[in-house]
Amino acid sequence: MNFPANLYYTKDHEWIQLDGNVATIGITDFAQHELGDIVYIDINTVGKALAAEEVFGTVEAVKTVSDLFLPVTGTVTEVNTLLEKQPELVNTDAYGDGWMVKMTVSNPADVAALMSSEAYAALVG
């Protein structure tokens, strides 16, 4: 499994990359592997201010639907439109073209409370 060291992780298997107060968020390589073939991403929270751990959308795989949780508080500003026609990008490039949303983070310091790649790797063992 791949857990890039430049990202932060949640217990709910989301990753976040912070650039100033703008964050890019997706699901981890572990999460996409556990879900299997992803067939649909449903995110309709653009423009909404949400708290950390609130649901910002869902990911549908062949056998299940799973909620997506925001790692930190902020406002969703963009959804990855590539996923509308190619949801399988989450399976093939979870940390690249398979990103899900971008958001403006209310307090960038909150990211420090998330897991490092080493801590996340230990969690999923």
Instruction: Please determine, for residue 61, whether its predicted confidence score (pLDDT) is greater than 90.
Output: yes
Q: Are strands 101-105 and 22-27 parallel, antiparallel or unpaired?
A: antiparallel
The pTM for the full model equals 0.95
Closest CA to 52 of 35, 27, 33, 69: 69
Where do the domains of the chain lie, and which CATH numbers do they carry?
Answer: 8-124 (2.40.50.100)
Q: Determine the average pLDDT of the residues in 82-88.
A: 96
Per residue in 4-59, pLDDT (tens digit) is 999 999 999 999 999 999 999 999 999 999 999 999 999 999 999 999 999 999 99
Per-residue confidence (pLDDT) for residue 119, from 0 to 100: 97
| Average pLDDT of the residues of the chain | 96
Per-residue confidence (pLDDT) for residue 20, from 0 to 100: 94
